[in-house]
Chain A
């Protein structure tokens, strides 16, 4: 396989680890070139492939299970009331 330019390499020339690449991809802070590179990388790196699937599943579950609730109505009313009191008459 020909040596591709690694788009994850930092300005200081430091090559990132598998884990660091994975983190950038997982958290959607990657460029298109990085995504392409990582896709190809996963084809030949089993740990990355497995970890990526696991981490992405956990991330999805966190989002669907741990947020989306509503704030209590009395809290919202309380805030509005308190703000009204602060306003100049």
Chain B
């Protein structure tokens, strides 16, 4: 946990913080957990664990600061420690490469003609959701935080414990991969993408 001056809350204040600031976020938390684990039961366990930790650590939470970012960070850490280790999936992503590419001239050569707005509008089923779920978890995470939950880069950097530059490059790569997936779907739907 981040070192913040510990707050002293009375029992009643603790309850108030928990009920008024933490609990209303349960829907966003559950959605985040589900998008990370891709399993409803695991998502429930993860959210429950997160709330237990949040209650235990409540004195390091300062009222008036961003409760959502604080809770999302705990959830993300629980996910890494408790769920990811179990899966033992080797990390396939070369982040150094992602960053180098982002800062190079090549980055402007985008795949723009490949996917069209019209074909996206016809994706009325689960295509968007499936495309998101198909991404490697670290790429999925930045899209969830940015596009689904509207966190700022700075907040994302704190939630993920990575520098802002890495947030940007990872987000860029994630969107590229998402577009590639969506163009695949568009082709399957019979669109000629060019």
Contacts and interface: CB of A to CB of B under 8 A. Distances in A.
Interface of A: 17-20, 23, 27, 29, 47, 50-51, 53-55, 57-59, 61-63, 65-72, 75-76, 78-80, 82-83, 86-88
Interface stretch (B27-35, B66-74, B77-85): B27-35
A63 B129 CA distance: 10
Given A23-B172, A63-B147, A69 B120 contact: no
Interface in B109-138: 110, 112-113, 115-117, 120-121, 123, 128-129, 132
B132 A66 contact: yes
B178 A58 contact: yes
Q: Shortest 4 CB-CB distances between A and B: which pairs?
A: A71-B30, A62-B147, A65-B128, A67-B148
A50 B110 CA distance: 11
B148 A63 contact: yes
Contact of B27 (A61, A70, A87): A70
Contact of A69 (B31, B105, B116): B31
B13 to A, nearest CB: 13
Given A66-B129, A66-B132, A57 B121 contact: yes
Nearest to B47: A75
Interface in B135-160: 143-144, 146-149, 152-153
A29 B44 CA distance: 33
Contact of A19 (B15, B30, B35, B108): B108
B51 A54 contact: no
A50 B112 contact: yes
B36 interface: no
A61 B171 contact: no
A70 B178 CA distance: 25
18 contacts: A17-B108, A20-B168, A29-B153, A51-B110, A54-B120, A58-B120, A58-B128, A58-B178, A61-B123, A66-B132, A67-B31, A71-B27, A72-B30, A75-B47, A78-B44, A79-B26, A79-B48, A82-B48
A75 B40 CA distance: 11
A82 B52 contact: yes
B76 interface: no
A58 to B, nearest CB: 7
Nearest to B56: A86
A72 B48 CA distance: 12
Given A50-B112, A76-B26, A83 B51 contact: yes
Nearest to A52: B112
B107 A87 contact: no
